Structure 1
Amino acid sequence: MLSLRRMDVSEVWPFVKLAAVVVLGGVAFWVLRRVRSGWVRIPARLLAAGTTTISFLVLVLFAVTEQGCSMRAPALWSPDGGHLALVRWGMQGALGADGAIVRVRPRGGWSSEIVFRGAGWAGSAPALRWLDDTRLEIRYWDERVYEHRCGERVEGVEIVCVRPAPTSS
């Protein structure tokens, strides 16, 4: 169901956390059957069953929308191989403008930091290129930028944003 083929390890963590809630709820439901007092056992098992069911449904919903509503560009490694830049598009369809998210993480890291979030789709997504081992250039064309960390250092990488001037015809 999840397309792990192109999903980075840092993007898998939300699913792992939700799956852990499902498993813990199931274990709690099973363990609570041994409680002798009915006025404790029944509400506790109902709570565990409800938590497990809701978490499972949310996990399935996230997995389906992740598969159907997003695309990823191939990962872009820094020249020295010490950092990784990731681009993901969220395709909203009739719900609104498509969005692009750029993340950076160090080699061997388990989590990534969002450095750019803005409008974009596969045809006009932000273009990434490494200027050197620790400087990442993000070139974007759409003025609708929701969040950026341009000029900052994130995970040891300086983020350089460039918005070319519109060409007149």
Structure 2
Amino acid sequence: MRQKELEKWLKIVIIAVALCGLVVCAVAIPWIGHVLIASDPQLSDMYIPWLVLFIISAIPCYVILYLGWRVAVNIGKDRSFSLENARHIKLASKIILFDALYFFVVNVCMWRIYVNHPGVILALVFIVFACVVASVVAAVLSHLVVKAADLQEQSDLTI
């Protein structure tokens, strides 16, 4: 696959993910909240805190998509293994970890003030674990891109 073709496909995937995230945040989560409130009116006090939690948690995801867009642009310019891409991927790794920490802390705080269910905390453990795994994978990928960039620079100097 050529660089420009790969860039195009990466951008299509990033746009698709952004649109799916927008549908989830703007349509699905509010709709699910209203359905839950209709089934149990006692949950109405939990609706706004949960909606705010999800919206704030989505912001770092869109920052990561922007960083992915920048990486795709560099790939299209035949700079796949560059220090700039490594920085973008490392920043994405840190943002993923921050978002997982934020999600965990806010959920525990919500549980402590009785705006959360203990079963949600159990599901939260799996979400945080997945985020930590994604963060580690991104950090390793960043390290490998740095190593590849160094090798490419040495190769360019010897030719």
Q: TM-score range by the shorter chain?
A: 0.3 to 0.5
Please say which structure displays the higher CA radius of gyration.
1
Of Structure 1 and Structure 2, which has the larger fraction of its residues in strand?
A: 1
Greater relative CO (CA pairs within 8 A, separation 6+): 2
TM-score normalized with structure 1 length: 0.35
